[in-house]
Amino acid sequence: MSAHEPNDSPAPLAQLERTVRENMPPPRRGANIPSLPRRTDRLLEALDAMGVWVSEVNDQGTITYTSDQVEVILGITAEECVAEQKLEFHPDDLSKVIESGRKVRSTGRHAHNQTRLRHKDGHWVWVANTLIGWTDDHGRFATLIYARDISDVKQAEAAHRESEARYSVVSQMSCDLITEMNADGRYTYIGPGAEALLGYEEQEVLELEPWALLHPDERERVRAQLEKQLVPPTAPPGAHTNLQPIEARLRHKDGRWLWFEIQGVTYPRADGETRYLAVNRDVTERVLAEKARREFEQSMQRAQKLESLGVLAGGIAHDFNNLLTPIMGATGLALMELPNDSPVRSRLQTIHRAAKRAAALTNQMLAYAGQKPLRVEWVDLTAIVEDMRDLASTSLAGKARIDLKLEKDLPFVEGESAQLSQVVMNLISNAAESLPEEQGQLSISTGTTNIDSRSRKMLFCDSMPPGEYVYFEVRDNGCGMDAETLDRIFDPFYTTKFTGRGLGLAAVSGIVRGHGGGIEVTSEPGVGTCFRVLFPAVHPEQVQQAHQAEAPGEFCLEGTALVVDDDEGVRELAQEVLERAGMRVLCAADGRAGVDYFRDNADQIRVVLLDRTMPELSGADTLEAIRKICPNTPIVLVSGYSEERVQDELGGKGLAGFLKKPFLPENLLERVAEVLRP
C-alpha cells in the first residue's frame, strides 16, 4: 500500500499495539507479536469469536501482523501470511484497495471497502474491511485493518439480484398482469403489463386510491377472499393455503370493465405489513363467451319448450276444429233456411257466434304452435301500427301518453297482415294493462336493424339468419316483471291477470315464429318493460307482384264428389252442402275405404275432399294411392293446420286446393267451385 500521512493522535488500538511491541515477550498469538497482557489477549479472543480478522500493514505495504482468523477465512496460517506476504486481491478490486489506503493517509479518517481475496484452494472470498491509520512515536505510519468474511452475504445478494432479474424478465414476458397490494388495497407494485391490459402507466396505478381499479360490487367479496388466503409467518417455507382463483372486474382507463382471473397469496412481510401478491389474467373474452353460451342455451331451451307446447296446442286445436266444423256448418245451413222472423233464428245466431269465438280461440292456439301465415303478402309494418293507433288510444282511454316514433319507407315484411296486426295489438294492450293509474307513458316505434350470430339474445334467435330486420317496439313505464315471470310469459295459459286465458303473448310468440322472426324482451320490476319484435326485411326489388285473379263467373256444381274424413260431423256437413249445390256425394270414414270407393268410381268422381289426419291410412298415404289410380282427379285437402304446413309435409304432391277447418258452407262451395272451374 502507499504511504500514509500521520494522525495527530494515535488511535486506542494503535496505542495498544505500541505497548505490545515495546513491553511484551515473544508472541503467544499471531505472528511477530510479543506475549500479550491478559487484557489484550481477551480483546483478540473476542475479535476471533466475532469472526474478525485483524492485520497491520506498514507504510511500505508489508504485512507486519495478522491474527489467526486469517486461516479461517483464507485457509493460510498467520505465519505463512506474514512470512510469504500471501494476500492476493482480485484484479477488479485493486483500485478500491489503493483508494482506501490513500483516503486513510490523506484525511486521517477511517475507510471502508469490500474486496475479494484469493483463498488457499483458489476461490475468491469476499471480505468487508475497516482501515484505521496511526503513527508511532518514531513517526512510522501503519494501517490497522479489521476484516470480516461476507461471502454468504454476497452470495445472498447475488441470488437476490438474480431472483429480481428473473422476476423482472418474467413480468415483462408474461401476458398477465402481476400486482402487489397492501392490506388497505393500495397497489405497491404493478407489472409492466398494466398499460397494455388496463391503459395505465405504472406510476398512475400506484397513485390510485385503494381498491380504485376493482368494481364496487365486488370489493367486499375480493377482500374476504384475500383474508382467507393469508399465509401466516409461522408457516413452513413453501407452505400455502388452498388458493382459489378470484374472478373480478377491473376498470380500464377508458372506463370499460374487464374481467380478470386473479390468482395470488397474502403474506406478512418482515416489517409486519401484509401484502397480497397476485397474477391477474384477462379473461374478458372467455367470460363473455360463457355468458353468450348460457344465454344461447337458455334461448334454445325456451324455444324447445315452446316447440313442444306448440305441438300439443296444435293437436288440441285440430281436434277442436273437427268439433266446430259441423257446429258452424249446421248452424249456417239452418240460418240459410229459416225465415227472418223465426223465433229460433236468434238462438241459432247465438250458437253461431259462440262457435266463431271458439274457432278464433283455436286459431290463437295454432298461431302459438307456429303455423305459417295462411295468406302471404308484403306488409308495411309502419302502416299496420298507424292503423292500430286509434284502437290503441281507445284501449288506453286517456290513461297514458303515447309517443310514436315510426319510420317511413321501411322495407316490407313477408306475412299475413291480420296476424301481424294481432301481434301489434296484443303487445300494445299488454303494455297498457301494466301502466300506472297516473303518469303512464307508452312509446311505440318501428325501424330497421342488422343482427349477426354474435349479437342475438332473443327468443327464436336460433332460426334467424344474419341480415336486415324490420322491428316493432313497445316500451312502457309500467310495473315491470321479475326474472321468474319473464321466463314464463310466452307459455300458453299462463297469465298474471285476474281475467284472461293466457293466450295473448303465446299467440304472439307463435305468429312471430311462423313469420321467421324473433322477440327480445327486457324488463325490470318497478321500471317498465320493452318488447321488440323483429321480422326479416324484404326490399321492393324482391317483391314479386301477384297477378290479379279474374273474378269468377257463374258456375254450376255437378258430378260426383268423394268425401274422406274420419269425423262423422264433417262428413255429414260436407255431404249436405254439396248435395244442396247439385252434386252426388260419396262418403268414406277412413283412408282405406276412400281408396276403395275411388277405385270403383274413378271415372265418375270429379273432386275428392280428403282429411289430413286419419287412423290406419293417413291423408298423405291416401293421396298417394288415389294418384296411382287416377293422377288427374282434383284433390282438396281439409285440415285444421295451415296450408303451408300441409304443403311442407306432403312434399309438393300436387294438391288442387286446401280447405281450412272449421269452415262455413259458403267456404266449402267456393273452394270446390274454384277447383272444378275450367
**Predicted pLDDT of residue 564:** 92
In 240-293, beta strands by DSSP E: 246-251, 257-268, 274-282
Report the CATH number of the 12-155 domain: 3.30.450.20
Grid cell for residue 452? 349477426
pLDDT of residue 476: 86
Class assignment of domain 175-282?
A: alpha beta
Distance, CA of 10 to chain centre = 81
Cβ atoms of 372 and 645 within 8 Å: the answer is: yes
Distance (Å, rounded) from C-alpha 611 to C-alpha 658?
A: 10
Give pLDDT, residue 570: 86
Q: Which of 333-342, 411-420, 428-437, 489-498 has the lowest mean pLDDT?
A: 489-498
Residue indicated by cell numbers 375480493: 222
What pLDDT band is residue 235 in, cutting at 50, 70 and 90? low
Quick one: how far is CA 476 from the chain centroid?
28
556 pLDDT band (50/70/90 cuts)?
low
CATH number of 377-542: 3.30.565.10
What is the pLDDT confidence band of residue 136, given thresholds at 50, 70 and 90? confident
Most confident stretch, 53-62, 380-389, 427-436, 539-548: 53-62
**To which residue does cell 413452513 refer?**
236
Kindly tell me if the per-residue pLDDT of 532 is higher than 60. Answer: yes
Domain spans of the chain, in order of start: 12-155, 175-282, 293-368, 377-542, 560-676
Let me know: does 514 contact 370? Beta carbons within 8 Å: yes
- Class of the CATH domain delimited by 293-368: mainly alpha
pLDDT tier at 499, thresholds 50, 70, 90: very low
Handedness of CA 208, 214, 220, 222 (dihedral sign): negative
Cell numbers at 542, concatenated:
324482391
Residue 83: the pLDDT is 86
Query: Would the CA dihedral through 608, 614, 615, 618 be positive or negative?
Result: positive
Instruction: At 103, list the grid cell.
Output: 483516503
Q: In this predicted model, what pLDDT tens digit does every residue of 452-461 receive, in sequence order?
A: 765 556 777 7
Q: Closest Cα to residue 87, out of 95, 96, 77?
A: 77
Query: Is the bond leading into 662 cis (omega within 30 degrees of zero)?
Result: yes
Q: Residue 116 — very low, low, confident or very high, per pLDDT cuts 50/70/90?
A: very high
Residue-level pLDDT at 354: 75
Q: Which of 121, 148, 144 is nearest to 133 (CA)?
A: 144
CB 535 within 8 A of CB 515: yes
CA gap 69, 57 in Å, rounded: 16
- The yes-or-no answer to whether 175-282 and 377-542 have a common fold is no
- β-partners of residue 531 are 474, 521
Q: CA-based angle 167:168:169, to the nearest 5?
A: 90
Which pLDDT band, with edges at 50, 70 and 90, does 115 fall under? very high
Provide the pLDDT for residue 561: 92
Closest to 507 in 3D by CA, of 497, 495, 498, 496: 495
CA-closest candidate to residue 86, choices 62, 102, 67: 62
Query: Is the pLDDT score of 310 beyond 90?
Result: no
Mean pLDDT, rounded, of the chain: 77
Cell of residue 677, nine digits: 272451374
**What pLDDT is recorded for position 598?**
92
Q: Does domain 560-676 have CATH number 3.40.50.2300?
A: yes
Residues 248-269: what's their mean pLDDT?
86
Mean of pLDDT values over 338-365: 74
State the pLDDT confidence band at 585, using cuts at 50, 70 and 90: very high
